[in-house]
Amino acid sequence: MKNYIDIWRKDEKKVNILLVDDRPENLLALESILTSSDYHLISVNSGEEALKRVLIEDIAVILLDVQMPGLDGFETAKLIKSREKSKHIPIIFLTAISQAIEYVKEGYHAGAIDYIFKPFHPETLKMKVEAFVKIYQYQEQIKFQNEALKVINQTLIDTLVTFDKAGRIVTTNPAITKMFGYTEEELSGEPIDLLVPSITSYYSDSHKLGRIIETFAVCKNTDVFPADIQLGEAKIGGQHVYVCSIRDVTERHLLEEERFRKIFESTSCLVSLQAVKDWHYINVNKTWLTSFGYNHYDKVVNRSDLSIKYIVQSNDNVETVVETKDLIHPVQSSRIKYFNQLGELRDGLLSTEFMDIHGEECILSVITDITDRMSVEKEMARLDGLNLIGEMASGIVHEVRNPMTTIRGFLQISKDIPSPEFIDIMLEELDRAHNIISEFLSISKTNNTKRISKDLNVIIENLFPLIQAKAMYSNHQVYLDLNDCSELKINEREIRQLILNLSLNGLDAMSSGGTLTIKTYQQDDEVVLAIQDEGKGIKQEIINKIDKPFFSTKENGTGLGLSICQKIVSKHDAIMDIKTSSEGTIFFVHFPI
């Protein structure tokens, strides 16, 4: 409404004020008092001329002299008030005749709104005229608003309904007839629920006032159509009144349904729509039919006895058999397996959504079949495994051949020159070969070890003396920064090996006098282990290879330590990150809680 007021104010012209007096000097005096950029002063010298001006001009206020030749002021006022167009124009009488009460009464009977005696006070006259001009402007503004509302009310395609706090209809606009089939008179005093059955729950909730709500409405002939409604509240004379706009959105819904139908039919996903009431199939797409082994829609649609079972895999690898009706909450991309009519076990991602279609609660199920993708991933994993086996076999051959060559050489020398020193060297080489094979077996184990709830800080504190002894031997220091963390389900033996491997690597990376920091902290839903050294950092090309078996930068290293660490991290569903610079390296291990 503010916009209409602004439009009216922009088009607002000067206000017409009619001055009527048979004496030119009196008219001149009035003009000098009332001159303003907001006023258009119209001066006439007779009652007859005043009547003509009232017929052709919109007058805000009339200043009328009583004593004039011909039509006097009283007669002129009566004629002005007798006409429909001019009867509401305020008239102020100006007179120098007797102030007797009978003259004043005659003036008011003639239609005057005020009576001013000459000589008058200029400022008083000016203020009275200003007051009547403002009243005129307000009236014109209200007329403009009423006309605008009338046009809007008559041309608006939306139905507008006002109703009281009891839900009884007060007014409607003409659109009610075309949209609902009722006349405006038929609905007066009727409950608003007759048009929008669900509306009571909306206007009783203050949070829904002013918001667009999708619902349905009912016509006089009981036809139901989708509607958008918007509610507002007003208070008039202490009484609460609600205003409701109702828009028929049938065409929009038809377009949305057509768009949905095209997506429904053309998607490569398996899509089905079921009624929650009895779980019968409302519709399925062609991909669904083909994947489940049905040759026609009639074999599925409207059937409630057709039960499709899914094998759902939880995060802890527990498998549960469920049907659609068991999924009381929507799911998103849940890993499932399902059997089709041909008995094939397929892999998929299941998503469901509850929706209201024509007043009926339904569930939309979408399955993305990933059977082929899973087969490809398994084959890629198998090939990667074969490639890793080849690399590891090559590494083992290389690493074990070296001590075997040394032992063979010393055995040949021992034939001629027996020596205890040769025996010690051969034993060291055999131990080296044994360690290589032991670490290889450790990294290749695939059995699932038992996990128990354990505090990571306790494990670190138990290992601290061992790590500190190693640090002191190489003139290093170890600093613990352990913060409160949730317990983790872990295998203690494997985590001890992880911490020892990372800590010893950190100590080996530093020159004399360095400090190794072992820190723990909780971040969101993770417990983080951070082991930081003060070495020279790791080059990027080395970072890309450090977790590969048999890759080592140490002179006597086997290259299996970090491979074992990576395997332990993976088995615990954790993630290992590396942050490195010239000032040192930090290994982060993020354990999910």
Domain of residue 99, CATH code: 3.40.50.2300
- What's the CA gap between 558 and 123, in Å, rounded? 109
pLDDT tens-place string over residues 514-558: 999 999 999 888 999 999 998 888 766 656 555 554 444 554 444
Is 70 in contact with 91 (CB distance < 8 Å)? Answer: no
Residues 133, 20 share a domain: yes
Residues 193, 177 share a domain: yes
Indicate the residue among 350, 369, 388 that finishes a domain: 369
| CATH number for the domain harbouring residue 413 | 1.10.287.130
Residues 135, 24 share a domain: yes
| CATH number for the domain harbouring residue 196 | 3.30.450.20
Lowest mean pLDDT among 54-58, 109-113, 449-453: 109-113
**What is the DSSP annotation of 168-205?**
BEEEE-THHHHHHS--HHHHTTSBGGGT-TTTHHHHT-
Q: Give the helix/strand (H/E) hosting 125.
A: helix 122-155
Residues 494, 416 share a domain: no
- What's the CA gap between 577 and 588, in Å, rounded? 5
At 57 the three-state DSSP class reads coil
At 86 the three-state DSSP class reads coil
Q: Which of 572, 565, 553, 552 has the alpha carbon at shortest distance from 443? A: 565
Q: Interior CA angle at 14 toward 13 and 16, to 5°?
A: 120
- What's the CA gap between 314 and 433, in Å, rounded? 43
Lowest mean pLDDT among 4-8, 348-352, 469-473, 583-587: 4-8
pLDDT confidence of residue 433: 63
Which whole number is the average pLDDT over 49-58? 89
Q: Which structural domain, as residue segments, surrounds residue 66? A: 2-152
- From start to end of 462-537, where are the E strands? 477-482, 488-490, 515-523, 526-532
Q: Which of 173, 165, 166 has the alpha carbon at shortest distance from 235? A: 165
Which whole number is the average pLDDT over 74-79? 87
Residues 469, 407 share a domain: no
Per the prediction, the chain carries an average pLDDT of 78
Q: Give the helix/strand (H/E) hosting 421.
A: helix 420-444
Residues 11, 106 share a domain: yes
Question: Using 50, 70 and 90 to split pLDDT, how confident is the model at 466?
Answer: confident
Indicate the residue among 152, 182, 211 that finishes a domain: 152
pLDDT confidence of residue 480: 92
Which residues, 6 or more positions from 84, have their beta carbon under 8 angstroms from its beta carbon? none
pTM of the model: 0.38
Residues 110, 166 share a domain: no
pLDDT tens-place string over residues 408-428: 555 555 655 555 665 665 666
Residues 480, 361 share a domain: no
- What's the CA gap between 487 and 452, in Å, rounded? 9
* Pair of tokens at residue 483: 């913060």
**Amino acid occupying residue 185:** E
Which whole number is the average pLDDT over 180-192? 89
* Pair of tokens at residue 364: 């939309």
**Does the pLDDT of residue 593 top 80, yes or no?**
yes
Residues 262, 193 share a domain: no
**Does the pLDDT of residue 244 top 80, yes or no?**
yes
Is 524 in contact with 499 (CB distance < 8 Å)? Answer: no
Residues 18, 32 share a domain: yes
Question: Using 50, 70 and 90 to split pLDDT, how confident is the model at 507?
Answer: confident
| CATH number for the domain harbouring residue 514 | 3.30.565.10
**Does the pLDDT of residue 11 top 70, yes or no?**
no
Residues 147, 7 share a domain: yes
Torsion-angle region of 359 (φ positive above 0: left; ψ -120 to 50: alpha; else: beta): left
- What's the CA gap between 280 and 282, in Å, rounded? 6
Is 439 in contact with 501 (CB distance < 8 Å)? Answer: no
Indicate the residue among 126, 152, 178 that finishes a domain: 152
The most confident of the ranges 199-208, 271-280, 552-561 is: 271-280
Residues 290, 268 share a domain: yes
pLDDT confidence of residue 2: 47
| Count: domains in the chain | 5
pLDDT confidence of residue 4: 45
**What is the DSSP annotation of 7-72?**
HHHHH--PEEEEEE-S-HHHHHHHHHHH--TTEEEEEESSHHHHHHHHHHS-EEEEEEES--SSS-
pLDDT tens-place string over residues 368-412: 888 888 777 776 766 665 555 555 555 555 556 556 655 555 555
- What's the CA gap between 297 and 308, in Å, rounded? 15
Is the CA virtual torsion 464, 467, 469, 472 positive or negative? negative
Q: Give the helix/strand (H/E) hosting 266.
A: helix 250-266
